[in-house]
Amino acid sequence: MVKAFAPANISCIFSIVDNKNSSKKGSLGMGFTVNKGVTVSIKKITIKKRQSKKIKNKVTLYFNNKKIKFPTVETVVKKLNKNNENLEIRIKSQLPLSCGFGISGASALATAYALNALLKLKKEPAKIAHIAEVENKTGLGDVINQYYGGFLIKYEPSYKFKVKRLNIKNKKIYYKVFSRLDTKKMITNKKIKNKINQAGINSLKKIKSLKKPQLNKLISISKEFAVDSGLLKDEKIKDVIKTIEKNNGNASMIMLGNAVFSDKRFKGCRMVKIADKRACLL
């Protein structure tokens, strides 16, 4: 059995970089990894001879002990498991799927690391995970942040794996999830995409002009992006952000999830910390 870890990622600002070629598709933006994430365990399954004709390339996937269909992870397996090994893949996540924590990306990345090691391959797990996520439209830049770890800005498209690291770490971040949000719907709708891209580029320009980026100011710019992009629609999230701001805090919407993150504690919130730990084998 081989195990690997990848951190969750909170995306604050993004702009979509489109291309017909999946290996040249991604995003610009800003986000940070946290001290919670995903652990993936993979082992080969031995199938008895009398069963072997019936069972070909059996790959069983579990997410927090429940069987799951997970297209992004399945794509990683297809790209790496060329010899059709029978596998059991167990994903344990401390945070929910489809709520803006980059759990699809983390699961894909940790799977790629573990499978690459288990099958003794010499592939580039992070690039494979990024392409798998792009192809399944579950994210555009999470994998790159999870590969490096930390508070990162991407002024160049994520597929290039070039980032600028900000010296912001071990800060407490408070969050609350209201509901899931379908990333695929958001990043494939042309009208929404155009609005997101314009707001994302403007926000990155504002960040670039800051002499000394501070967390409170970066969250404030993130909120401006959420408003200008048209993504901040949920009235509950708007109300929570207003309440936090009245209490001298800063808050924004997590991209892409019906969820709030803040630098100040608020009612019903949970806490994570900004952390530098990157994806790795365990």
- How many whole angstroms separate alpha carbon 272 and alpha carbon 263? 11
Please answer whether residues 94 and 37 qualify as being in contact, where contact means their C-beta atoms are separated by less than 8 angstroms: yes
**Does the pLDDT at position 53 exceed 60?**
no
Burial class (CB in 10 A: 0-12, 13-18, 19+), 215: middle
- Concatenate the DSSP letters of all residues of 77-120 into one string: HHHH-TT---EEEEEEESS-TTSSS-HHHHHHHHHHHHHHHHTT
Domains (range + CATH), the chain: 1-282 (3.30.230.120)
Q: What is the reported pLDDT for 31? A: 97
| Residues ≥6 apart with Cβ < 8 Å to 254 | 10, 11, 12, 99, 100, 101, 175, 260, 261
- How many whole angstroms separate alpha carbon 178 and alpha carbon 271? 15
Please answer whether residues 159 and 17 qualify as being in contact, where contact means their C-beta atoms are separated by less than 8 angstroms: yes
- How many whole angstroms separate alpha carbon 142 and alpha carbon 26? 10
Q: What does the pLDDT look like over 84-140, one tens digit per residue?
A: 999 999 999 999 998 889 999 999 999 999 999 999 999 999 999 999 999 999 999
Report the predicted TM-score, pTM, of the whole model to 2 decimal places: 0.93
Residue 56 pLDDT level (bands cut at 50, 70, 90): low
How far is C-alpha 176 from the geometric centre of its chain's CA atoms? Answer: 17
- Label residues 12-39 b or e (16+ Cβ within 10 Å = b): bbbbbbeeeeeeebbbbbbbbbbbbbbb
CA dihedral (81, 84, 87, 92) in degrees, to 10, reads 30
Kindly report the average pLDDT of the chain as a whole number. Answer: 93
Amino acid at 69: K
Strand partners, 38: 6, 93
SS3 16: strand
Map tokens 């596998």 to a residue. Answer: 87
Structure tokens belonging to residue 62: 């579990």
Q: What is the reported pLDDT for 181? A: 72
SS3 32: strand
**Does the pLDDT at position 57 exceed 90?**
no
Structure tokens belonging to residue 281: 């084998």
SS3 213: coil
The counts of H helices and E strands in the chain are: 9, 12
Q: Find the mean pLDDT for residues 245-264.
A: 95
Query: CB-side exposure of 139: number of CA atoms within 13 Å?
Result: 38
**Does the pLDDT at position 183 exceed 80?**
no
Q: What does the pLDDT look like over 128-152, one tens digit per residue?
A: 999 999 999 999 999 999 999 999 9
**Does the pLDDT at position 187 exceed 80?**
no
